[in-house]
Amino acid sequence: MKVAMPHMGHIYVPLRTLFREVGVEMVVPPLNSRRTLTLGAKHSPEFVCIPFKLTLGNFIEALEMGADTLVMAAGPGLCRFGYYAKIQERILRDQGYHFEMVTTELFESKLMGVANLVKRLSNGAPTQKVLAAIRFGLAKLGTLDELERVLHQVRATEAEKGSADQVFQQALAAIDGADSRAALKEIKNRYLMKLQQVERDGETEPVVVGITGEFYVVLEPFSNMDLERELGRLGAEVRRTTFVSEWMKFSLFLNAFGLSEKDRIHQAAAPYLRRDVGGDGWESVGDIILHSHDYDGLIHVAPFTCGPEIIAQNIFPAIKTRIPVLTVICDEQMGRAGMLTRLEAFVELLRRRRARKGLAVAALVP
Ligand code: SF4
């Protein structure tokens, strides 16, 4: 059996570990590229969102590499994500591919659902072994997210642009190869130190830009034209609350005990939106209210035709927030030059607002 799953950020690293630990071969398709998107868009319904097109492209590339089992999250929900697996399966069969489609209802079945899925794919590996593999995969995921948070800070003030990313890429490869919890811990400490040691430009005072929006386009750099890296290049420090490790912690464990990471954000959104509108629309509205004092500005990333994010975008102008918001719509028609121009103008606007605020404060001090 050769198992494949779609890409979303660096989630392939913990997944590869998880499957390796239980003796299942995982086919990792090439990272998202123009080819992936072209393949996916060619076979997708025209108005479907970019996560559908890219994940379909991943499946095609994985099948070309010999994958015979495709794994996809599915299940009931308020947006079309719940139907992705069924529709993608039909499209791929129409194209003549032979494979088994395995779906998992993550939201419903939680940790035991994932364990049962891994058990099934591994032809009945012992439960202890499966749970240990999941724990090790989650530890890698947590390590990657911790390093990425530091990367966001360092990028904004590094003296030589790109140095922090080089360290992060080395860390990614080392974490991918780590074969024990002890090795992982050593790698984490080593690369946290290396990131902190990247030479900084002491003159730069970074503006802080929050990122919110639809889960997939926030986390998959190719889908948003790597906007976090571009913001870092422009000297802006990126902050976001969406990380896969956080989401997993609640979805797999804490939600089952009645704890939800979203209560606070939903309460904040309540004056403008009181119910779930599917996807991450409710959270996008809450995010801007909850963090308007932490950020200089907010970038809202939304896939073209995504209903939940269109609702959020239409609510933003009514929100009495003190920070500017820029919505970036992601799809295959998105142009790099136009996106970079908008980012440059946005960061410059935030710098000027901050400088004006500094002057106003200075005028008040006797
Ligand atoms: S939230 Fe939006 S982009 Fe994401 S799957 Fe649903 S409709 Fe598509």
In a domain, 166, yes or no: no
pLDDT in tens, 19-56: 999 999 999 999 999 999 999 999 999 899 999 999 99
Same domain for 103 and 232, yes or no, is no
Residue 296: what pLDDT? 95
Residue 248: what pLDDT? 82
Residue 8: what pLDDT? 96
Average of pLDDT values for 256-271? 84
Same domain for 8 and 98, yes or no, is yes
Residue 166 CB-half CA count within 13 A: 9
Is the CB of 80 inside a 6 Å radius of any atom of ligand 1?
A: yes
Residue 79: what pLDDT? 84
Same domain for 110 and 216, yes or no, is no
Burial of residue 45 (CB within 10 Å: 0-12, 13-18, 19+) is exposed
> Residue 23: which region, alpha, beta or left (left: phi > 0; alpha: psi -120 to 50)?
left
Among residues of the chain, what percentage have pLDDT more than 90?
Answer: 79
Give φ, ψ of 24 to 5 degrees. -105, 135
Is the CB of 306 inside a 6 Å radius of any atom of ligand 1?
A: yes
Same domain for 95 and 233, yes or no, is no
In a domain, 179, yes or no: no
Is the CB of 79 inside a 6 Å radius of any atom of ligand 1?
A: yes
In a domain, 201, yes or no: no
Residue 221 belongs to a domain with what CATH number? Answer: 3.40.50
Lowest-confidence region among 26-35, 115-124, 340-349: 115-124
Same domain for 105 and 217, yes or no, is no
At 365, is the pLDDT very low, low, confident or very high (cuts 50, 70, 90)? Answer: low
Domain boundary among 105, 125, 145: 125
Separation of CA 307 and ligand 1 centre (Å): 7
Domain boundary among 125, 144, 165: 125
Domain residues for the domain of 345 are 206-242+268-366
Tallying the residues shown for the chain, one arrives at: 366
Residue 179: what pLDDT? 95
**How far are the Cα atoms of 41, 99, 167, 206, 219 from residue 38, in angstroms, in the given order?**
5, 22, 31, 36, 20
Separation of CA 48 and ligand 1 centre (Å): 9
Same domain for 216 and 104, yes or no, is no
In a domain, 259, yes or no: no
Average of pLDDT values for 165-176? 98
- Between residues 71 and 358, which one has the greater pLDDT? 71
Q: What is the position in ligand 1's atom list of the atom closest to the CA of 84?
A: 5
Is the CB of 221 inside a 6 Å radius of any atom of ligand 1?
A: no
Distance from C-alpha of 21 to C-alpha of 178, rounded to nearest angstrom: 12
Is the CB of 49 inside a 6 Å radius of any atom of ligand 1?
A: yes
Nearest CA to ligand 1 atom 1: 279
pLDDT in tens, 52-97: 999 999 999 999 999 999 999 887 666 888 889 999 999 999 999 9
Same domain for 15 and 119, yes or no, is yes
pLDDT in tens, 208-243: 999 999 999 999 999 999 999 999 999 999 999 999
Is the CB of 213 inside a 6 Å radius of any atom of ligand 1?
A: no
pLDDT at 101 over 90: yes
Q: Tell me the pTM.
A: 0.94
Separation of CA 21 and ligand 1 centre (Å): 32
Same domain for 234 and 355, yes or no, is yes
Residue 97: what pLDDT? 98
Same domain for 231 and 104, yes or no, is no
Residue 112: what pLDDT? 83
Strands 236-239 and 100-104: unpaired
In a domain, 252, yes or no: no
Distance from C-alpha of 248 to C-alpha of 139, rounded to nearest angstrom: 11
Evaluate whether 6 touches 125 at the Cβ level (below 8 Å): no
Best mutation site among 81, 216, 217 for ligand 1 pocket (most ligand atoms within 8 Å of CB): 81
The total number of structural domains that make up the chain: 2
Residue 359: what pLDDT? 65
pLDDT at 364 over 60: no
In a domain, 279, yes or no: yes
* Average pLDDT over all residues of the chain: 92
**How far are the Cα atoms of 37, 57, 241, 292, 330 from residue 30, in angstroms, in the given order?**
12, 10, 27, 38, 21
Is the CB of 210 inside a 6 Å radius of any atom of ligand 1?
A: no
Nearest CA to ligand 1 atom 7: 306
Same domain for 217 and 364, yes or no, is yes
pLDDT in tens, 269-313: 999 999 999 899 999 999 999 998 999 999 999 999 999 999 999
pLDDT at 4 over 90: yes
Separation of CA 279 and ligand 1 centre (Å): 6
Best mutation site among 48, 50, 80 for ligand 1 pocket (most ligand atoms within 8 Å of CB): 80
Task: Give one DSSP letter per residue of 232-280, joined into a string.
Answer: HHTTEEEE-S--HHHHHIIIIIGGGGT--TTHHHHHHHTTT--S--STT
Domain boundary among 77, 97, 125: 125
pLDDT in tens, 302-333: 999 999 999 999 999 999 777 999 999 999 98
pLDDT at 260 over 80: no
pLDDT at 174 over 80: yes
Same domain for 223 and 339, yes or no, is yes
| Close Cβ partners of 195 (under 8 Å, ≥ 6 residues apart) | 147, 150, 151, 154, 164, 167, 168, 171
pLDDT at 119 over 70: yes
Residue 67: what pLDDT? 98
In a domain, 303, yes or no: yes
Best mutation site among 242, 277, 306 for ligand 1 pocket (most ligand atoms within 8 Å of CB): 306
In a domain, 100, yes or no: yes
Is the CB of 281 inside a 6 Å radius of any atom of ligand 1?
A: no
Q: What is the position in ligand 1's atom list of the atom closest to the CA of 79?
A: 6
